[in-house]
Amino acid sequence: MNSLLRYVTYCIFIIILSKTSAVWAFNYPVGIPDAWIPPDITAPLSPSPWTSEITNMYYIDGSSSNCSAKITYGTITKPRCTFPSLLPAGSYVEIHGGPYTYTNTAYFHSEGTKSKPVWIIGAKNNLVKMHLVLSGTYLYLDGLNIEGDKGISARPYQNRQTDHILVRNTVITGSGSFSVGTTGINANGLSGLQFEGFIAYKNTISYMGDSEVAAENDRHALTTGSYINDVWHLYNTTHHNGGDGVQYSHSGVDSHHFYYGGNTSYDEGENCVDIKQANDVIISQNTCSNIESSSSSQGSCMVVHYEPSRIWFINNDISECVYGINSSGASELHVIGNNIHGMREISGEKHPDISTYQSGVGFMAYNTGNTYISNNTITDAVHGIAYQTLPGFEADITGNIIANLRNGEFSGNNAYAIILKGDDTAVANSNIENSLFYNPIRIYVDGRIHTELATLVSSGKCNDSVNSCVTQNPSFYKDGHTLTLGSPAINAGSISSSYTVFKNLYGKEITTDILGNNRPHDGEWDIGAYEYIGKGETPKAPSGISIKTLDP
């Protein structure tokens, strides 16, 4: 295109935009459904001027010398000193100054509605040193700064129905103490008071409890309890907490449909993600790193316990842990499109060479039902996949790259791309297809160690089609994960049944790679977490944008 044509095209584009308004939809991580409101919904503006009291508009500044306990709503010149507890529909609360320490726990009860929610806004330099309890309906809290080992609890209080609560842009910082502290943000309902609809968005939670001490101190960043459903934890940052980045429903009852997406969690005392008694959980496009073992944790980046159903790990980047994803019990588990790298063997490793419990593993499962492991890239680990089968269940292992493994640095145990053992019938029925194994080619299955593709095929694996599996160098880019032109992983994959199962369950497509590129790119699936797009190609258009013409 010559320069004149470029200029004309640009002018036409600008003219079109001048008569249009672009509406950008909220960018949900892949597979995560829309919440009842966009988490980044625009908060209402402060009254201007705010020089006289306005019904249900609260100006709070307890650090002002002019604040008064006798004022109902407050103004800039005469603010209210303390937080209101009962908030009618459409109320607006703006919190300035601090620190607020006048009681141990402050209670906000909202009577908001979908059309008239209650907003609590933290103004610049606010500081709260009280535990906050949020109850009621349609309550949106934005921008608080909480210190002093205090947190937020969203739950029914005094048997009041609680639902549709948003907590965002809030910083919760503990002291890192083992002896004091609490969860950063917790949400739960009660029997007969099911909590439906909770969002935690773009919060930062750190140093709740001591992440370095060996003893257990369950001070988690995010938690849910019982009688709660439809929970979105999106784009939060958690680190150096004594427990988990998020823990879903320990001993939970009627706890389901939890969505954890786009979060960053690292250096936690236990795990980035710990799923317990919660069903229909989607863990999508998160970054998790640097989790070590302790007396209360095996050192798993992400872990599943207690046999929940329909658990999905999709397109996460997981690094520098003892185990990448670890399931000690789930009735249906899907692990799709994750990049898992840098798994470390513990110094006291004593498991024998062929063990599904060896540390330094990308994905490990035992006491687990049907498991689907598809389109993952696993590198720099001792074992890629270790699955201890149960009678009546099986594993479907398709489209994975498992490469550049290493022997155990402490145990000396051999590196294995896959160890598949347990019930003989379950092992025989398990599927290994369309995968790439390299450096080393060592797979234990059906009671035999395979170091050549030919013997693996003769055992009934990698035989769905000619050249189903590949044993060549994956030809990674210098980042060690993405594919370069000529990689044998390009156009050598296949689509797993998990993609259709997900669409049927949740009505969403998850056919994108870890970078958000559509799969397949050119008609054929690639092996691994990254679809090859190629250099110099036109980047894909942004999703979630609509343009409407405004009347002149």
Asked if residues 136 and 109 have their Cβ atoms less than 8 Å apart, the reply is yes
Per-residue pLDDT in tens (0 to 9) along the chain, 552 residues: 443 333 333 333 333 333 333 457 999 999 999 999 999 999 999 999 999 999 999 999 999 999 999 999 999 999 999 999 999 999 999 999 999 999 999 999 999 999 999 999 999 999 999 999 999 999 999 999 999 999 999 999 999 999 999 999 999 999 999 888 789 999 999 999 999 999 999 999 999 999 998 888 889 999 999 999 999 999 999 999 999 999 999 999 999 999 999 999 999 999 999 999 999 999 999 999 999 998 878 999 999 999 999 999 999 999 999 999 999 999 999 999 999 999 999 999 999 999 999 999 999 999 999 999 999 999 999 999 999 999 999 999 999 999 999 999 999 999 999 999 999 999 999 999 999 999 999 999 989 999 999 999 999 999 999 899 999 999 999 999 999 999 999 999 999 999 999 999 999 999 999 999 999 998 999 999 999 998 534 344 444 433 343 333
Say what the pLDDT of residue 446 is: 83
Residue with token string 């039902």: 369
10 Å CB burial of residue 345 (0-12, 13-18, 19+) is buried
Residue 56 to residue 38: CA distance in whole angstroms? 24
pLDDT tens-digit map of 216-268: 888 999 999 999 999 999 999 999 999 999 999 999 999 999 999 999 999 99
| Residue 157, amino acid | Y
What DSSP line would sit under 501-532, residue for residue?
A: HHHHHHS----B-TTS-BSSSSSSPPSSS---
| CA distance linking residue 127 with residue 125, whole number of Å | 6
* pLDDT for position 4: 38
Q: Which of 231, 338, 219 is CA-nearest to residue 279?
A: 231
pLDDT of amino acid 224: 98
Asked whether 333 and 302 are in contact (CB, 8 A), the reply is no
Cβ 256 vs Cβ 284: under 8 Å: no
Residue 216's pLDDT is: 85
Helices (H), 295-355: none
Helix (H) or strand (E) holding 433: strand 431-433
Q: Which amino acid is at 528?
A: G
The pair phi, psi for residue 470, each rounded to 5°, is -125, 140
How far apart CA 262 and CA 464 sit, in angstroms, is: 35
Question: Coil, strand, or helix at residue 365?
Answer: strand
What are the distances in angstroms from CA 229 to CA 226, 314, 401, 455? 9, 20, 35, 48
Cα–Cα distance, 473 to 462 (Å, whole number)? 17
Strands 317-319 vs 370-374: parallel, antiparallel or unpaired: unpaired
**Total length of the chain:** 552
